[in-house]
Structure 1
Amino acid sequence: MNKMILLAGPCSMESEDVCFETAEALLDLCKYYPLDFYFKTSFDKANRTALSSYRGLGLEKGLEILADVKAKFGCRIVTDIHEPWQAKLAAQVADIIQIPAFLCRQTDLLSAAAKTGKIVNVKKAQFLAPWDMANVVKKIEDSGSSSIMLCERGTVFGYNNLVVDMISIPQMKSLGYPVIFDATHSVQKPGGNGSCSGGDSEYAPCLARCALAAGADGLFVETHPDPSSALCDGPNMVPLFEMKDLVKNSLAVFDLTKEM
């Protein structure tokens, strides 16, 4: 039986200490639960609501810390890029190159990520239908890669709101690649707090279980030791101490679906 994929960690990189604390706690879960785990955080969040919003520690320092996490804990890494030139640099550390939802149609970005030889995890844009991801997949394949994951993260549903159509998961799976469900950005309220995004993290575990029941191969979950003090996306991040219950309950659903 395939393990449930888990891409998890803080939204935007704040410090080495937060990364180390989060990675250690998540890896501890792997001792008790069968997970295909990748530690996730972003060295830069280029699509923040306001110019003054916190973005991260930057490419050079961010990749240095990700390399330290990898060396200290032995875990695999996933991080996102926003420009084609970043792909080769990120690939020196990352095992998965992630393409943000707003950028999933950017041909040069997709091609650069594909040419690294790493797995490319593409988040479906909030404005795309799931079947439109076929064009995204073809761009990556035509750039020489078949190491692809697709990620559902909700669809625009009126102002400052998202809705998740669970049918999108089997529809994207029909393209022949694993589908990951982003449980935390799916409960985001984009720009909902005026100068920053809001969210309802309490619903993330419920949506995670629903997505796995619909056939998702794994979860993307942003988590933080103290989301209330997080510098980015705190309202939709799952508190680190709640990850054990989320993983345990999600795995129960995942295991049931694999037996069907």
Structure 2
Amino acid sequence: MLKINNLKNQNSGNFVLIAGPCVVEGRDMALEIAEKVKNITDRLNIPYVFKASYRKANRTKLDSFTGIGDELALGILKEVGQTFALPTVTDIHESDEAALAAKYVDVLQIPAFLCRQTELLVAAAQTGKAVNVKKGQFMHGSGMGFAVEKIKAVNPDVEVMLTDRGNSFGYSDIVVDYRNIVEMKAFNVPIIMDCTHSLQQPNQSSGVTGGKPALIETIAKAAIAVGADGIFIETHPNPSVAKSDGANMLALDKLEGLLEKLLRIREAIK
């Protein structure tokens, strides 16, 4: 069982879902997404963590949308958690962000390109909050044990999760090697599959990241089949107008049907 505040439906034996918009775009949208996903996961008995970045530090272009303001976005995340009794997760990018974000959310997420940053991992561990570390696109799953060790050395009681999000393939594509899920499970922490960022096509000449959202279901099904403990999906009511990563998001109205299929796979492999 995950030691995360307000995480419901854990006794169901189902995978955990981490889902929400890429970034907090505003209060109304965050609350709308959280409510709809909570209703779905409650009906399906799926443990649910609401996800949204309070600020996007890693954007291709200087004028790309990064957020509505740190304190405002973090306040919205806190409101989401309190309104729907949900745990929430957000990214941190520098060590001094850990203590700030920890005041508002239940889980701190380490972006993939920062998974080796010792100071950042240590700062996250010092808050006592659960930590989700995304596997670097440049790393093999077996190397992620060192991230777990760094966090546990600082605070053995911190809940650690590892999330795969594919590996760089050439200059503008990502592929998923499902051996990484199996190998990371050897570290005895929950393993999550990021089904949306794994379909990114980064570094496009347009300056806008591309993606292949039609394959989200494929990535998710395979992850559950090989034993992933959870699924990470960025979702939005209208991905075409999302302010970040819309090209690889799942439309919100497609989430329920996908989760129902994944539950059947989960049941089949038990």
- Give yes or no for TM over 0.5: yes
1:65-84 aligned within 5 A: 65-84=76-95
Partners of 2:264 and 2:121 in 1: CA distance: 34
- Counterpart of 2:224 in 1: which secondary structure? helix
Matches for 1:98-247 after TM superposition, within 5 Å: 98-145=109-156, 146-192=158-204, 194-247=206-259
Shift, 1:58, TM fit: 2.8
> Tell me, which stretches of 5 or more residues in structure 1 are unaligned?
none
| Aligned-partner residue type, residue 61 of structure 2 | A
Q: Would you say the 8 A contact 1:4–1:34 is kept in 2?
A: no
Post-superposition Cα deviations, 1:103-152, rounded to whole Å, max 9, x if no partner, equal 10111100011111111000000001111101111111111134100000
Are 1:6 and 2:21 counterparts?
A: no
User: Partner residue of 2:8?
Assistant: none
Asked if residue 56 in structure 1 is aligned to residue 41 in structure 2, the reply is no
Structure 2: distance between partners of 1:58 and 1:99: 20
Normalised TM-score (structure 1)? 0.96
1:176, distance to aligned residue in structure 2 (A): 1.1
Aligned to 2:100: 89
Inter-partner Cα distance in structure 2 for 1:31 and 1:111: 34
Alpha-carbon offset, residue 93 of structure 1 = 1.9
- Offset of residue 193 of structure 1: 5.2
For the residue of structure 2 that corresponds to 1:134, the secondary structure is: helix
Report the Cα distance in structure 1 between the residues aligned to 2:59 and 2:106, rounded to whole angstroms: 25
Deviation, structure 1 residue 2? 2.4
For residues 33-64 of structure 1, what are the alpha-carbon distances to aligned partners after superposition, in whole Å with 9 as ceiling and x for unaligned?
A: 01110100001110111111111123211111
C-alpha separation between the residues in 2 aligned to 1:144 and 1:89? 18
- Among 30, 34, 41, the alignment partner of 2:52 is 41
SS in 1 for 2:43: coil
What do the CA deviations read for 1:180-238 (whole angstroms, capped 9, x no partner)?
00000001101235312000111011100101111100100000000001010001000
SS at match of 1:242: helix
Helix, strand or coil at the partner of 1:149:
strand
1:161 and 1:190 in contact (8 A); partners too: yes
Measured in 1, the distance between the counterparts of 2:190 and 2:42 equals: 24
SS in 2 for 1:22: helix
One-letter amino acid of the structure 1 residue matched with residue 223 of structure 2: A
Amino acid at match of 1:121: N
Q: Which residue of 1 aligns with 2:262?
A: 250
Equivalent residue of 2:65, what SS?
A: coil
Question: Between the two proteins, what is the percent identity of the paired residues?
Answer: 44
Runs (5+) with no aligned partner, structure 2: 1-11
Tell me the SS of whatever aligns to 1:62.
helix
Asked whether the equivalents of residues 14 and 263 of structure 2 are also in contact (C-alpha less than 8 Å), the reply is no
